[in-house]
Chain A
Amino acid sequence: MSRSDVLVDAEWVEAHGNDPGVVLVEVDEDTSAYSKGHIRGAVKIDWKKDLQDPVRRDFVDRAGFGALLSERGISNDDTVILYGGNNNWFAAYAYWYFRLYGHTAVKLLDGGRKKWELESRELVTDVPQRAATSYTAKEQDSSIRAFRDEAIAAIGKLNLVDVRSPDEFAGRLLAPAHLPQEQAQRGGHIPTAKNVPWSKAAQEDGSFKSDDALRALYGDEAGLDFGKDTIAYCRIGERSAHTWFVLHELLGQANVKNYDGSWTEYGSLVGVPIEIGDGK
């Protein structure tokens, strides 16, 4: 796995974004961003309405994911280029979804919407009309998704990476600073977790740091043992999807799972150990 397998740059998108067999998809935290302007030809996926089960706390199921992509006009053999705001935060989450349901030809636009906007590249409001397809999703790939029991069993044994901000890690905040402070019952982190805020993997323009810088960040600075399996978590599993992308897709770590239940689940469980205070 190398960067060119999982990332494209703006020049590539300008040249190939509307080639047959290529589908641009915008996924934003700010779900209204798309309607204000998007890259020409891009369709939208709403991380919440489209990707989450409307009743249970879980993802859309295999059939639901297939129906969604069919309706958006995405085929099994299309190359999907994802991008979004905030350092590709939610685009990385969607990337993880595509991989979870077995779609291998998927890449991120490095830097996402922010870099594109800061470089004053073209955004349009025309919504493309794509003919429906019949997309068939595969079974979920359980090798990249962790559940709560695995997170508890990993304490003191595997790498646990808490990718929230230092204030959330310490228990002083329960949510990122641009959202109202609510959610889990208790603040803190899973014991033995290392705190590497997800955003440290990105440069200010939203593009990813170099492989060497990333290896130093997680290895030398944070003390992750690259010989061990890793579980990443945040609050609801999207920022940790970004870190999953870095560790698994960019650095090629073999066994990395995203614990999507994350702190909103763990911090509300009865009886599990919690550590508070700053990282060591």
Chain B
Amino acid sequence: MSTSAAPGAAGTAGDGCGAPAGGTALTAATDAGSQAVVQGHVTQNGSPVPVGYARLLNSGGDFVAEVPLGEDGGFRFFAAPGSWTLRVLAPGGVRAEHAVSADIGKVTELEVAV
């Protein structure tokens, strides 16, 4: 399978569970290819939240994956098609949750204000 969906965006992921792509967003023009991408940014009062975590939970509420936020508050997941919950954790007890659905070949954008 090609990673044309995210050229270079997976950072050092390579053939392992390498660095999550955290901060580097796909551009709007990027084709998601055969991936079901969920990505976005976390902001507080309009400014990026650079320290924090985004977690993806499945429809049963179980944890599936987690990435640290990028310096621009960015996060990205390569999900399976379906319904998911995105949960954000940040210092100071900050929490936020959003429902999101993912589809193959689609980049689903989610902007989260906390």
A and B are partners in one complex rather than unrelated chains: yes
A interface residue numbers (CB < 8 A to B): 28-33, 36, 47-48, 52, 85-87, 89-90, 114, 117-120, 165-167, 172-173, 175-183, 197, 199-200, 204, 235-236, 238-239, 264
Would you give the 0/1 interface string for B53-74, flagging 1 where the beta carbon is closer than 8 Å to chain A? 1001010001111111001000
Q: Does B40 contact A (CB under 8 A)?
A: no
Q: Could you list some 15 contacts between A and B, CB below 8 A?
A: A29-B18, A30-B67, A31-B19, A33-B68, A85-B68, A114-B89, A118-B53, A176-B65, A178-B77, A179-B78, A180-B3, A180-B78, A197-B64, A199-B63, A200-B63
Q: Which residue of A lies closest to B92 (CB)?
A: A120
**Inter-subunit contact A178/B11 (CB<8 Å):** no
**Inter-subunit contact A32/B1 (CB<8 Å):** no
Q: Does B16 contact A (CB under 8 A)?
A: yes
Min CB–CB distance B44 → chain A (angstroms): 14
Residues of B contacting A165 with CB < 8 Å?
58, 62, 64-65
**Inter-subunit contact B80/A48 (CB<8 Å):** no
Seed contacts A30-B20, A181-B1; 20 additional CB < 8 Å A-B pairs: A30-B68, A31-B12, A33-B68, A48-B12, A87-B66, A114-B68, A117-B51, A119-B91, A120-B92, A165-B58, A165-B62, A166-B58, A172-B80, A175-B78, A176-B65, A178-B66, A180-B6, A180-B13, A181-B34, A197-B64
**Contact of A197 (CB < 8 Å), options: B3, B63, B77:** B63
Residues of A contacting B16 with CB < 8 Å?
47-48, 52, 236, 238
**Contact of A179 (CB < 8 Å), options: B13, B62, B63, B71:** B13
Task: Name the 8 nearest CB pairs between A and B, nearest first.
Answer: A177-B65, A30-B19, A178-B65, A199-B63, A182-B1, A120-B91, A180-B3, A178-B20
B interface residue numbers (CB < 8 A to A): 1, 3, 5-6, 10-22, 34-35, 51-53, 56, 58, 62-68, 71, 76-80, 89-92
Residues of A contacting B18 with CB < 8 Å?
29, 31, 48, 179
Residues of A contacting B65 with CB < 8 Å?
165, 176-178
**Inter-subunit contact B63/A180 (CB<8 Å):** no
The secondary-structure label for the interface of chain B is: loop
Q: Which residue of A lies closest to B33 (CB)?
A: A180
**Inter-subunit contact B67/A118 (CB<8 Å):** no
Residues of B contacting A89 with CB < 8 Å?
17
**Contact of B66 (CB < 8 Å), options: A32, A86, A181:** A86
**Contact of A177 (CB < 8 Å), options: B12, B19, B80:** B80
Residues of A contacting B6 with CB < 8 Å?
180
Residues of A contacting B51 with CB < 8 Å?
117
Residues of B contacting A120 with CB < 8 Å?
91-92
**Inter-subunit contact A29/B80 (CB<8 Å):** no
Residues of B contacting A173 with CB < 8 Å?
80
Residues of A contacting B52 with CB < 8 Å?
117
Do A48 and B58 form a contact, CB below 8 Å, given A180-B5, A181-B78, A182-B1? no
Min CB–CB distance B100 → chain A (angstroms): 12
Residues of A contacting B63 with CB < 8 Å?
197, 199-200
Bound-state CA distance A120–B53 (Å) is 13
**Inter-subunit contact A114/B53 (CB<8 Å):** yes
Residues of B contacting A32 with CB < 8 Å?
11-12, 19
Bound-state CA distance A165–B56 (Å) is 11
Residues of B contacting A31 with CB < 8 Å?
12, 18-19
Q: Which residue of A lies closest to B95 (CB)?
A: A204
Min CB–CB distance A60 → chain B (angstroms): 14
Residues of A contacting B1 with CB < 8 Å?
180-182
